Every structure is written in structure tokens, then in C-alpha cells.
Amino acid sequence: MGFKRSKRVGGMLLQEISQILLRDIKDPRIGFATLTGIEVTNDLKYAKVFVSILGDEDEKKNTLIGLQNASGYIRKEIGSRIRLRSIPELVFKIDSSLEHGANINKILEDLNRKESA
């Protein structure tokens, strides 16, 4: 069946959001954030943007608040860059999969050290 339209639109949205964050957003609350993925509903009304944030819990919380506050501006910019009937409502979520993977790696390395000792 090929790609669904929501996946194609999601790819375009992710690319544009990353460009907007890189070039246009100057909020000091937004720290080192990397967009890791996006889930767009089939009706293109909502989009969950997954973000990996470097830093402690306070920095992560502040970055997430800054991103949510900037979501209106980001939607407006996307509207001027991509032709869509309606721009999805953006919800930013912390993606902890990278941290989870690093934690699993650390556990496996510790187990290998114990076996070899």
C-alpha cells in the first residue's frame, strides 16, 4: 500500500520543525534538544513530536515548557512553509529511548566485566 499520507506529512513536519528550532527559536529555556521522531494522526489534526534533551531533570522540564510555549509560533511558521489544509496541533514529548538504551548498554558491560573477572 505504500506510505500513508500521515507518515509523509510527518517527515516534512519533522524536517521543518528542526529547521525552525535551529534558526528561529531564541528561547533561552530551550537547551540542547534533538528531535527523534514524530507521530501524526491519520486525520492530520495532532502530532506528537518526540524530543531527546541533554541535561538534568530541571533542564529537561524547562526545555519541554519552552517548546510547548513556542508551539504556536512553530505552527505559524510551518503554515507558511508547507501547504496543508490545517496544521497539526503540536505536542512535545520527551523521548527517553536513548537514555534507556545507554542504561541497558551499561548493564551489559557490567555483566561482561563480572564474567571475565
Tens of pLDDT along the chain (117 residues)?
345 888 888 999 999 999 999 898 888 888 788 899 999 998 889 999 999 988 888 998 999 999 999 999 999 999 999 888 889 999 999 987 777 777 788 888 888 888 876
Residue 98's alpha-carbon distances to 34, 59, 79, in angstroms, are: 11, 17, 31
pLDDT in tens, 67-80: 999 999 999 999 99
CATH, range 5-116? 3.30.300.20
| 50 SS3 class | strand
Q: Which of 32, 90, 99, 101 is nearest to 60 (CA)?
A: 32
The domain limits of the chain are: 5-116
Residues 67, 104: contact at Cβ < 8 Å?
no
Cell numbers standing for residue 100: 534507556
Torsion, Cα of 101, 105, 111, 115 (10° steps)? 140
Residues 6+ apart with CB under 8 A from 82: 12, 13, 16
